Chain A
Amino acid sequence: MAEQPILEIKHVSKSFAGNAVLRDISLPINKGEVHALVGENGAGKSTLMKIIGGILPADGGEIFFNGQAVRFENPMQALDAGISIVHQELSLAQNLTVAQNIYFRREITDSLGFIRKDAMANAARQVFKRIGVDIDPNVLIGRLSIGMQQLVEIAKAVSLDAKVIIMDEPTSSLSESETSHLFNLIRELVRNNVTIIYISHKISEVMELSHRVSVLRDGLLACSSLTSEITTEEIIHHMVGRELGNLYPPKGKNIGDTIMSCQKLSRHGFFRNVTFDLRKGEILGFYGLVGSGRTEVAMAMVGATPITSGEIRLDGRVVRFKNPRQAIGNGICYLTEDRKVLGLFLSMSVRLNATASILGRISNRLGFLRSDNMRHKSSELGDYMGVTPKNDIIDIINLSGGNQQKVLLGKWILTNPRVLIVDEPTRGVDVGAKSLIHAKIRELADKGMSVIMITSEMPECLGMSDRVAVFREGDLITVLDNPGDPEMQKNIMSYAVK
């Protein structure tokens, strides 16, 4: 490759509010190659892509495109220069046709400014022919499968005459046949001298498809190598190679017998044959990459979503919860990962939020609420969880994310559950609140509560859980005992990727 790189990233760094997210990244991307970019959740991949695509400005460093220094102020400039991003969450308008989406913002019109629909459809057909895809340009986007929509996005990039196409986790919601179609298309594009930057955490795909692979870890470029010269194990090693601090509470001491078990739990399209036991007093970590089906399993366990097949046993009895209310009645609670959508009553006071799940226990026999009871319970929770400010009649929206999370966790603790499922309990939470939440969860487990902890943060998973269930693409791959030593990381990661 004597040719100069089509895209060269030089000393790019970026920080948010003083915290470095990308540190001095330098990376050449050669023309006509598939360049894979891998890394853990939060390693900085997406930020780097956003900088290249003009969505975010870089703090320092330069980007050379075709040998020229460029600085895109917005995504449109990047598009015009020939850099397209195919986003993970597709950005197509569902109620417009395929052709209208492809020619969005550059509609083919007659001299009076009226849109010429057939001309646009024909042009779209030409593009599809070039990339060997068969899609009717007059169909509404909403009617197409996610895979097809992805192809339309790529067709759009091709029609824009993109030199570089960045794909962010393109296969995360594709079926196998759609994936292989996509790979063929990528190879075809590369033959036509288009450069692909392929972001993924599926290492098997990376090994199959890419010419070169770069690993990001904690905002640093951990390695960059020809794919043929690196092994899967080495990639994983570069992804996770870090030391564990002593930030976490000690592991569980008195773990008892199985109290809940899932047998071959399946929900069509989300997860398959998930089987595991949960023991009294333990913290079972659910590790996996985003979209591996962990949250879906948890939601199904508490009856928030249906189960297609399989069974759940509680104390040996088969149970099937039709809704979260029944699960709560049986002492099984789910603390959501999505505070805004599933957790908080934003326009209500802290006190109301805190007592939302124990209305029965703070009211008398006729169902009338006792405001003194309510106040006591709420302040009891506030003291136990260390919620600040102490004033609990202000709306919960005024609390920081960490305090909101403390209230939500406390709300479930007040119900005195036997099984508590916490989903990303420390996401978006400051360091102090984080260690408090960790300590409380361990304290509850030591008192005999069983906890399932869903987390995407490897250190948290290692530090907190007694055992780790590793998920990948809707399958529970294995359940590992977790002594908490750093060597576990590679072990877990090698199950979670592939």
Chain B
Amino acid sequence: MDKQSLLARCRHFLTDGIGAQHLTLIILIVLISTLMQFFFPLFLDPLNVETLLMNFFPEIIVSIGMTMVIITGGIDISVASVYAFAEIIVAKAMVEAGWDIVPATLFTLFLCCLIGLMNGYLADILSVHPMIVTMGTLLTLRGVNLAITDGRAVSGYSDAFAFLGQGHLWFFPIPILVAIVLAIIFGYLLNNHRYFRQIYFIGGNEKAARVSGVNVRWVKVSVYVICSFLAGLAGVLGASKYGAAHWGHGNMMEMKAIAAVAVGGANLNGGSGSIGATMLGVCFLAIVNNAFYIARVETFWYDVVNGGMLVLAVAFSLYVNHRNEIKLINQKIRASNRVEMEANQ
């Protein structure tokens, strides 16, 4: 790339609201880390960094799927139940039915995909807002989770399975490796694959996407399937990590995932967002969360910061939308003047 276009890109990055938001986020993350390290040398201690990441690994994986759903202009708040459901199913399959790890995991992920299929299909066919559909799934599945376990935990699986969630490869905990690999794969796909490019078009303007030749229904449904699949995968890893499956695990995870996507700068009305940005968002939330622990601030305040960032992020995307609306209205006014004017020529 030549120098001039590089310059243009930089200028674009800075004047474009989203780019500025990413930059702000990066600066914030670096700044918080530096300050924390300065005051609390424990902060960048390897054990603390591992804990920081491990405490957020389900959110990292789930937020990848959530990003895609939100780019299409939808939302999936059922992920917390799907996560717990996957934990319970994979545990039951191994502990109670005596299945091997691989078939139990595949079966669990298959069921999760079916749940995603149902979410996407219902939202599309009934044209009900996905918020409502997935809220139904959230509550229904939570009931199912309680019913099939009588509210008790399922535990007692093999060491091999426990290795999935608790083991390390080199120095890296496996769940973190899985999360990073998934983020890279989906990040690359979203940027570089025609199929995933379509989700931006759907979120940007669904009707225009249809007219442009996008199979809107299929793409949308598949995104919900991916989201549930990832929540299920996180659940399998979670069951292994905590050594037990329990209906209460992962509660409110959907909020953290949505917050991560929003803080990363995606427009909650769809059309924009990226895995990289979402990862920045998760990192930010995880670091702030950890900072609260390390600095021994009452953790109730964490929710205040978390919520504050969310409001800020949403306000920002509203502002961008509003700015676009105004541009459009101005164009419309100019256009209608022109039509009237041309009628007079």
Which applies to chain A's interface (DSSP): helix, strand, loop or mixed? loop
A residues 385-401 touching B (CB-CB < 8 Å): 391, 393-395, 397-398, 400-401
Pick from A111-119, A167-175, A360-368 the stretch touching chain B.
A360-368
**Which residues of A are in contact with B by a Cβ distance under 8 Å?**
16-17, 19-21, 23, 40-44, 47, 218-219, 302, 304, 323-325, 327-329, 334, 336, 340-348, 352, 356-357, 359-360, 362-363, 367-369, 371, 391, 393-395, 397-398, 400-401, 411, 427-431, 457
By the criterion CB–CB under 8 Å, are A325 and B271 in contact?
no
Given A16-B336, A347-B320, A367-B195, 19 extra CB contacts under 8 A: A17-B337, A19-B344, A20-B341, A47-B340, A218-B343, A302-B211, A324-B210, A324-B212, A343-B205, A347-B271, A356-B209, A359-B197, A360-B194, A367-B194, A371-B192, A391-B12, A395-B16, A397-B328, A457-B342
User: Is B140 interfacial (CB-CB < 8 Å)?
Assistant: no
B215 shortest CB reach to chain A, Å: 6
By the criterion CB–CB under 8 Å, are B208 and A344 in contact?
yes
By the criterion CB–CB under 8 Å, are A21 and B340 in contact?
yes
User: Is B213 interfacial (CB-CB < 8 Å)?
Assistant: yes
Q: List 29 A-B contacts (CB under 8 A).
A: A19-B338, A20-B341, A21-B340, A21-B344, A40-B343, A42-B340, A44-B340, A44-B343, A218-B345, A304-B210, A342-B207, A343-B208, A345-B205, A345-B209, A346-B204, A346-B205, A347-B320, A348-B204, A352-B201, A360-B194, A363-B194, A367-B194, A393-B8, A393-B9, A427-B339, A428-B332, A428-B338, A428-B339, A457-B342
Total contacting residues, chain B, CB less than 8 A = 45
**Chain B residues near A360 (CB-CB < 8 A):** 194
By the criterion CB–CB under 8 Å, are A367 and B193 in contact?
yes
Knowing A359-B198, A401-B331, A428-B332 touch, does A21 contact B343 (C-beta < 8 A)?
yes
B117 shortest CB reach to chain A, Å: 21
**Which residues of B are in contact with A by a Cβ distance under 8 Å?**
8-9, 12, 16, 191-195, 197-198, 200-201, 204-205, 207-215, 267, 271-272, 320, 324, 327-328, 331-332, 334-345
A324 to B211, CA, bound (A): 5
Knowing A347-B324, A397-B327 touch, does A304 contact B198 (C-beta < 8 A)?
no
A362 to B193, CA, bound (A): 10
**Chain A residues near B211 (CB-CB < 8 A):** 302, 304, 324, 334, 336, 342-343
- 10 smallest CB-CB distances across A and B, nearest first, come from A428-B335, A19-B341, A345-B204, A42-B343, A16-B337, A359-B194, A325-B213, A328-B213, A21-B340, A363-B194
A392 to B320, CA, bound (A): 19
Knowing A19-B344, A21-B340, A345-B204 touch, does A323 contact B194 (C-beta < 8 A)?
no
By the criterion CB–CB under 8 Å, are A219 and B192 in contact?
no
A338 shortest CB reach to chain B, Å: 9
Chain B residue at minimal CB-CB distance from A41:
B343
A327 to B211, CA, bound (A): 10
A486 to B201, CA, bound (A): 44
* Pick from A41, A345, A346, A401: contact of B200, CB under 8 Å: A345
A175 shortest CB reach to chain B, Å: 28
Q: Identify the interface centre among A43, A345, A397: most chain B CB within 10 Å of its CB.
A: A345
**Chain B residues near A23 (CB-CB < 8 A):** 344
By the criterion CB–CB under 8 Å, are B343 and A43 in contact?
yes
By the criterion CB–CB under 8 Å, are B212 and A42 in contact?
no
A302 shortest CB reach to chain B, Å: 8
A209 shortest CB reach to chain B, Å: 26
A343 to B194, CA, bound (A): 19
* Pick from B9, B214, B341: contact of A325, CB under 8 Å: B214
**Chain A residues near B208 (CB-CB < 8 A):** 336, 341-345, 356
Which applies to chain B's interface (DSSP): helix, strand, loop or mixed? helix
Cβ-Cβ contact count across A and B, 8 Å cutoff: 147
**Chain B residues near A334 (CB-CB < 8 A):** 211
A19 to B344, CA, bound (A): 8
A360 to B195, CA, bound (A): 9
**Chain B residues near A348 (CB-CB < 8 A):** 200-201, 204, 271-272
By the criterion CB–CB under 8 Å, are A397 and B324 in contact?
yes
A41 to B339, CA, bound (A): 10
By the criterion CB–CB under 8 Å, are A369 and B342 in contact?
no
A413 to B12, CA, bound (A): 28
A478 shortest CB reach to chain B, Å: 25
Chain B residue at minimal CB-CB distance from A304:
B211
A401 to B344, CA, bound (A): 20
A286 to B272, CA, bound (A): 37
A14 shortest CB reach to chain B, Å: 9
By the criterion CB–CB under 8 Å, are B335 and A401 in contact?
yes
A323 to B214, CA, bound (A): 9
B49 shortest CB reach to chain A, Å: 33
Knowing A357-B213, A367-B195 touch, does A344 contact B205 (C-beta < 8 A)?
yes
By the criterion CB–CB under 8 Å, are B339 and A368 in contact?
no
Chain A residue at minimal CB-CB distance from B8:
A391
* Pick from B12, B191, B215, B339: contact of A323, CB under 8 Å: B215
A336 to B193, CA, bound (A): 27
A378 shortest CB reach to chain B, Å: 13
A42 to B342, CA, bound (A): 9
A201 shortest CB reach to chain B, Å: 14
Q: Identify the interface centre among B192, B209, B337, B341: most chain A CB within 10 Å of its CB.
A: B341
B162 shortest CB reach to chain A, Å: 36
**Chain B residues near A219 (CB-CB < 8 A):** 343-344
Q: Identify the interface centre among B213, B272, B342: most chain A CB within 10 Å of its CB.
A: B213
By the criterion CB–CB under 8 Å, are A368 and B204 in contact?
no
B189 shortest CB reach to chain A, Å: 8
Knowing A304-B210, A304-B211, A393-B9 touch, does A368 contact B193 (C-beta < 8 A)?
yes
A219 to B337, CA, bound (A): 13
Knowing A352-B200, A367-B195, A401-B334 touch, does A21 contact B215 (C-beta < 8 A)?
no
B205 shortest CB reach to chain A, Å: 5
**Chain B residues near A20 (CB-CB < 8 A):** 341, 344
A344 to B334, CA, bound (A): 18
A323 to B271, CA, bound (A): 22
Q: Identify the interface centre among B205, B327, B340: most chain A CB within 10 Å of its CB.
A: B340
Q: Identify the interface centre among B211, B341, B342: most chain A CB within 10 Å of its CB.
A: B211
Knowing A42-B343, A346-B324, A391-B8 touch, does A430 contact B338 (C-beta < 8 A)?
yes
Chain A residue at minimal CB-CB distance from B345:
A218
**Chain B residues near A391 (CB-CB < 8 A):** 8, 12
A356 to B338, CA, bound (A): 29
By the criterion CB–CB under 8 Å, are A428 and B331 in contact?
yes
By the criterion CB–CB under 8 Å, are A356 and B342 in contact?
no
By the criterion CB–CB under 8 Å, are B9 and A347 in contact?
no
By the criterion CB–CB under 8 Å, are B337 and A19 in contact?
yes
A462 shortest CB reach to chain B, Å: 14
By the criterion CB–CB under 8 Å, are A324 and B213 in contact?
yes
A47 to B213, CA, bound (A): 38
By the criterion CB–CB under 8 Å, are B210 and A323 in contact?
yes
**Chain A residues near B213 (CB-CB < 8 A):** 324-325, 327-329, 357
By the criterion CB–CB under 8 Å, are A427 and B335 in contact?
yes
**Chain A residues near B12 (CB-CB < 8 A):** 391, 393-394
A19 to B201, CA, bound (A): 38
